[in-house]
A and B are shown apart, each in its own frame.
Chain A
Amino acid sequence: MRDVFLPRSLEKLWTYLDESPGALVFAGGTDLLVKTFNGFPEGEALVCLDRIDELKEICQQGESIWIGACATHSGMVASRLVRNTLPALWKAVGEIGSPPVRNMGTIGGNICTASPAGDTLPPLYAMKAEVEILCREGARRLPIAQFIHGPGATGLQKAEIVSAVRIPKPQGLNLQHFEKVGLRSALACSVASLAALARLSPDRVVEEVSLAWGSVAPTVFTCPQAEETLVGRPLCAASLREAAEIVRHRVRPISDVRADAEYRRTVAGNLLLRLGTLS
């Protein structure tokens, strides 16, 4: 049997973590508890963050949006701030799992799970989000691309938690898009996804673009070469096809039970073509 701690404040959290340094920290439990109920890993206490109110807030802080680690996906879907200022993230969280999973799962959990298929990750990468990390001694921040090291691997140290994600407010980006390809229309794990943010001139010339793919490499895949190909040219099928070709050459997908690498490679490129159809 494991202890389950439910700290109601950060102060209490640090005490628990001092007492049980090997404790497993979680918020919604949609990922971790599947494992612990199957007995893995053994023995460690569980610490649930979801009663620490200060970790649940969603607010604007200067030119950034601050989303507490324990904000649930449903909470983000319901947030007008997220919907209006971060539409790509809003779309992504709305497609995670299913309604009950979204009521439980949190953005902090999605980041810490660091799955290549984590649905919030491509938009967070595309928006150059920073992860806020907290321990008793203080806070630090890391760009999300530095925080996530690989599948399931992050830069989180012992006795640290992710407290929030800070997302620079997209400025003047009039195209904000997210598309997830799953094997069905709900309750699906992504087999490829694309977050795209761009500033288009009135005649649809790409002035700035940021792209990030999920599920096509060990971590979220970004592709400056494809971005460069698009910048300065009208967003049209021809330029997108060129960029798609570059992407297909550079992604490093795996084959698994959900899709083979070849499919992921093709679709990673194809998803760019959709941008040409968006108004």
Chain B
Amino acid sequence: MKISFHLNAKEVSVDVAADRKLVRVLREDLALTGTKEGCGAGECGACTILVDGDPRLSCLMTVAQIQDRHVTTIEGLAANGEAHPVQEAFIEKGAIQCGFCTPAMVLASVALLDKNPDPTRGEIREGLSGNLCRCGGYVKIVDAVEAAAIAIRRGNPK
């Protein structure tokens, strides 16, 4: 089945079985391996992508469901090769360890800040609670999202 959608701001179409797991189509057919499959059951969040701007779990979606949707994976976040402020903050604040949860964590953070540009630490923790990190203590990730929020607000004065 031919499925057309917007992937990282480009129109793409794939010819695959409609019920394939989206994360596998992204990784195996489109070679976008920044999206990870950690549990296959929606429990770890490593497969998080943005669909029309909202974080969703690509391991709990059939590829057919993204017909006509706008999908952002980690590869599409750095527009024009320039890292997103959330990415910069993750680097600066030491929020990256093994890095396997990182792409999803970054996307979840971007979506969180889109909705809530000035979150408390508690709101950040809640916003990222669907993304497991096994290497760190979440502290530096929360620090990074706080720092990114400030950077984004400075960059987009109201």
Contacts and interface: CB of A to CB of B under 8 A. Distances in A.
Contacts of B130: 97-101, 186-187
A34 B129 CA distance: 20
A52 to B, nearest CB: 14
Contacts of A1: 17-19
B41 interface: yes
A2 B19 contact: yes
B19 A101 contact: no
B127 A3 contact: no
For chain B, the bracket of interface size reads 20 to 34
B61 A2 contact: no
Contacts of A20: none
B12 to A, nearest CB: 18
Interface in B110-137: 111-112, 126-132
A159 interface: no
B71 interface: no
Contacts of A2: 18-19
B57 A101 contact: yes
A147 B60 CA distance: 27
A1 B17 CA distance: 6
Contacts of A99: 55, 108, 111-112, 126-130
Contact of A4 (B18, B45, B57, B60): B18
Contact of B129 (A6, A30, A186): A186
B54 A4 contact: no
Given A103-B54, A186-B126, A6 B61 contact: no
A3 B18 contact: yes
A266 interface: no
For chain A, the bracket of interface size reads 20 to 34
A74 interface: yes
Interface string B10-42: 000000011101000000000000000000111
Among A3, A50, A98, A100, the most chain B Cβ lie within 10 Å of the Cβ of A100
B56 A104 contact: yes
A98 B127 CA distance: 8
Contact of A46 (B43, B54, B62, B127): B62
A48 interface: yes
Contacts of A98: 45, 129-131
Contacts of B19: 1-4, 36, 46
A238 interface: no
A100 B18 CA distance: 22
Contacts of B55: 99-100, 103
A3 B62 CA distance: 10
A183 interface: no
A33 interface: yes
Among B41, B108, B129, the most chain A Cβ lie within 10 Å of the Cβ of B129
Interface in B40-59: 40-43, 45, 48, 54-57, 59
Given A4-B62, A99-B55, A186-B126, 16 more contacts: A1-B18, A4-B1, A6-B65, A29-B60, A30-B42, A30-B60, A46-B19, A46-B62, A48-B62, A74-B54, A98-B129, A98-B130, A98-B131, A99-B130, A185-B129, A187-B43
Interface of B: 1, 17-19, 21, 40-43, 45, 48, 54-57, 59-62, 64-65, 67, 108, 111-112, 126-132
14 contacts: A4-B1, A4-B19, A29-B65, A37-B21, A46-B64, A48-B62, A99-B111, A100-B48, A100-B56, A100-B108, A101-B57, A103-B55, A186-B129, A187-B132
